[in-house]
Chains A and B, each alone.
Chain A
Amino acid sequence: MSEHKPRKTTEKKVPKAFGWMAEYQDENSLLAAARKVRDSGYTKTDAFTPFPVHGIDEALGIKPTILPFIVLCAGITGLSTALLMQWWMNGVDYKYIISGKPFGITPASIPVAFELTVLFSAFTTFLGMIALNQLPKFSNPVFTNPRFDRATNDRFFLYVEAADKYYNRESVKELLGGTHPDSLDEVLEDTTPSALPRPIILGAILLVIAGLIPAMIILNIRAGYSTAPRFHVFFDMDFQPKKKAQQTTTIFADGRSMRPQVKGTVGRGQLEEQDSFYLGYDPAKLTAIDTLETGKFVSLQDSKTADGSAAKPAADGSAQTPAAPAAALNLPWIDKLPIEVSEANMALGKQKFETYCSACHGYAGFGDGLVHKRADALAQGYWLAPTSLHVDKVRTQPVGQIFHTITKGQGKMASYASSLNPKERWAIVLYVRALQKSRNADMSEVPADMVKTLDEVK
């Protein structure tokens, strides 16, 4: 190491000259000098200023760059790439219906085309600028002059390169000297040793080795075998002090972590199960009726809520359990609406009926909804039509039974209890009653002030 340095200094050759650099106090002197140099025919020139100087391009005689044309070509390429790609993907190779839109190039392709045009153009502008300026350059001989540091602060420099085809050392010196520069220096090759200092090399090697450690650990774990339990990073998340469903516990005598309901209490949301407003029939009266039938009904209800499939026989009216449909029909239905007969409830009922019921039962309740029409056309006779609400069977039902049908479902009709709260179900019952009335009323039932309106409609 120690023999190295002295040997270099003894070899001391004449540094290569790269050109002349003149220093100025302000941008106007620089512009004047630059014009003079340009008019003398030199083209390999450059200016270094602390801020952008207007008109420097013209003063230096810089030719317009071809970068815009390159960018234009890149933009066109991006545009065509995007359009071709989308046309091919969505129009030819993989036709896929998206929201019923047409295939190929649509308005939806334009944003992609726009983005790719911009992307290609932007990258080309950036990389093209780098390439045309022959960057990156890690060093430039102008940096050898310590005065040049002020180019980023308050001094203006003009540089004429020796590579210029008209370059002559003496005449350029004379020319620049005639522009009254603050200083005029020849740009010389940097003669300081270019070898990296040893500590830096050593540090870099150490860094690279240290960087390999995590990769080594991972490789070791991947390839190795261990009987130790998994390492828990977040211990309190992996082991939480709580019981999950179906687990056992030592806290309670019966060992169950899921607790049964305490006797004599009513759970939240369970109160409604005992009220005719929620049931459609009077539970108090039910106990007074034949206990055998009641028992069958209750068991039917239980199985129904358990899996729902047991409701089928009752609805179909098949002979499997002949008592069940009879029992269902003989419940003590309430026949007075538990909600007020008002304009608001009627509107609510109409709205909910048209949302949930009309799809099958039709807007007027004749069982001719769109689902029915479509299914009838597809099933070609196998489809069982929805019940018309205007048949005698439904018309004579107490309101409680209609409510019960909406709540529990009937035949193919599913339960709507999850979609409609009890009040909404009663409002639908009210609306169904109004629909039925509208088909079966005579003039004597029409209020006197409405008769005239009816006549007008006729």
Chain B
Amino acid sequence: MNLNYEKSSIELPEAWRAKAPFFLAAGVILLMLGFLCAFGGNSNGEDNSLGFRYLCHSYLANFVYVFTFTLGALFFILVQFLTRAGWSTSIRRVAEILMMMIPYLGLLFLPIIAMLFWGSSALYEWNGKNIHNSVIASKASFYLSKEFFTARTVVYFTFWILTANWFFRISRAQDESGDAELSLLRQKWAGPLIMLFSLSASFAAFDWLMSIDADWYSTIFGVYLFAGSQMSFFAMMIVINMLLQNAGKIQKLVTVEHFHDMGKFLFGFVMFWSYIAFSQLVLIWYANIPEETFWYQVRLDNGWMTFSYCIIPIHFIIPFLFLMSRHIRRNRTALTIGAVWLLFAHWYDMTFLVMPNAGPAQLVPLFGHLLGGFGMLSIFASMFIWRADGVPLVAMRDPRLPEAMSYTNPIL
């Protein structure tokens, strides 16, 4: 394949670069507005007031919401090399940029750590001084102490950042040399790293999200979050690639076949998430013991019932039926609609996981939480632009790029 290409066609759109500070400012403002709404009529200034609980939970849910895109990107990169995939070569760089946002997003976790050391138990009950629940108290002495929690979080981030950096550095080195050995090197290490990844992602889900209900546990919880994370990652990839193409970039490099395949993954992970979510539910429903069922009870009481039941059509039935046809997945507009819908569904899922623990369902704090979600997305956009600035959007000298350009999906 000849390497004659317009260098500008694989660069970040000029217009986007100027927008980054605006996105950041808008994001911060939206987050603040969201916080205000969370407090709306619920604050008495105390640590464990309802308003503060809404605020903390909303922040955590929205943080995990955007963080899972990058976590999904890291897994995607690992699995591409593990399976020696050629089709994804032309879309891999965008995923690599997403993956390289983990250090940036790590900064957004600092407020949660700060809140722990400030001594607040509004989010994590186990951080409180007088824990009334004996199960939580027994865990809080060691595993769920703020020091160990922080240490584990640091370990997860260190591992993710080192892995992402290593893959990105080699990918960039290949941009210069085009050396096939660099691909083989990454293939060699993808296997061991993916095992460590699955452990770290699972335990991060246990620590960050499941420990909100520290006396409840579900061993499938890590997989649950992983399923949502992969699904939202593919939705994000589709949206970003569409936006880049609409801005006149990477138009020939990312073909309808790539969108079709990302759409298939999106569809597959909708099903996978549902499968995992249902697996978790049916075991707990069947055993019907109070130690486990209360997690669902919390999500059905205090006005959350309608919200919780709506996750079934929003996260499963509607996108499943919508994305089933290949004609939808090969249609730019339709696929983008599906992807945007699932980005919302993932936010809805994170809300479902976290917010009922804060308190009863109230319209104003929930609206604030939605504003916060948009704020986080906005901050995410600014980070993406800064991270992507100066990086070619396609790994042009990857020896397998021609393969990615020429493959087609069979006509079914």
Q: Is A58 an interface residue (CB 8 A)?
A: yes
Once the chains bind, are B286 and A108 in contact (CB under 8 Å)?
yes
Residues of A within 8 A of B281 (CB): 107
Residues of A within 8 A of B278 (CB): 107, 110
Once the chains bind, are A99 and B288 in contact (CB under 8 Å)?
yes
Chain B 283-323 interface 0/1 with A at a Cβ cutoff of 8 Å (1 = within): 00110100000000000000000000000000000000000
CA distance A110 to B282 in the complex (A): 9
Stretch of A63-71, A150-158, A171-179, A404-412 lying at the B interface: A63-71
Query: Knowing A108-B286, A110-B278 touch, does A54 contact B406 (C-beta < 8 A)?
Result: yes
CA distance A31 to B107 in the complex (A): 53
Once the chains bind, are B282 and A111 in contact (CB under 8 Å)?
yes
Query: Knowing A54-B406, A54-B407, A110-B278 touch, does A99 contact B412 (C-beta < 8 A)?
Result: no
CA distance A100 to B285 in the complex (A): 12
Q: Is A62 an interface residue (CB 8 A)?
A: yes
Residues of B within 8 A of A101 (CB): 286
Residues of A within 8 A of B282 (CB): 107-108, 110-111
Residues of B within 8 A of A68 (CB): 326, 412
Q: Is B410 an interface residue (CB 8 A)?
A: yes
With both chains docked as a complex, state the minimum distance between the C-beta of A99 and any C-beta of chain B, in angstroms.
7
Query: Knowing A108-B286, A110-B282 touch, does A65 contact B408 (C-beta < 8 A)?
Result: no
Once the chains bind, are B412 and A67 in contact (CB under 8 Å)?
yes
Interface of A is mostly: loop
Q: Is B3 an interface residue (CB 8 A)?
A: no
Q: Is A55 an interface residue (CB 8 A)?
A: yes
Residues of A within 8 A of B408 (CB): 54-55, 57-58
* B406 nearest CB neighbor, chain A only: A54
CA distance A57 to B412 in the complex (A): 9
CA distance A62 to B411 in the complex (A): 8
* A68 nearest CB neighbor, chain B only: B412
CA distance A63 to B412 in the complex (A): 8
Residues of B within 8 A of A111 (CB): 282
* B410 nearest CB neighbor, chain A only: A57
With both chains docked as a complex, state the minimum distance between the C-beta of B218 and any C-beta of chain A, in angstroms.
15
Find residues 322-350 in chain B having any chain A CB closer than 8 Å to their own CB.
324, 326
Residues of A within 8 A of B285 (CB): 106-108
Chain A 208-220 interface 0/1 with B at a Cβ cutoff of 8 Å (1 = within): 0000000000000
Find residues 27-46 in chain B having any chain A CB closer than 8 Å to their own CB.
none
* A98 nearest CB neighbor, chain B only: B286
Residues of A within 8 A of B410 (CB): 52, 57
* A106 nearest CB neighbor, chain B only: B285
Residues of B within 8 A of A72 (CB): 324
Residues of A within 8 A of B326 (CB): 68
With both chains docked as a complex, state the minimum distance between the C-beta of B346 and any C-beta of chain A, in angstroms.
22
Q: List 10 A-B contacts (CB under 8 A).
A: A54-B406, A54-B407, A55-B408, A57-B410, A58-B411, A64-B412, A106-B285, A107-B278, A108-B282, A111-B282
Given A54-B407, A57-B408; 12 other pairs, CB 8 A cutoff: A52-B410, A55-B406, A55-B408, A63-B411, A64-B411, A65-B411, A72-B324, A99-B286, A99-B288, A106-B285, A107-B278, A108-B285
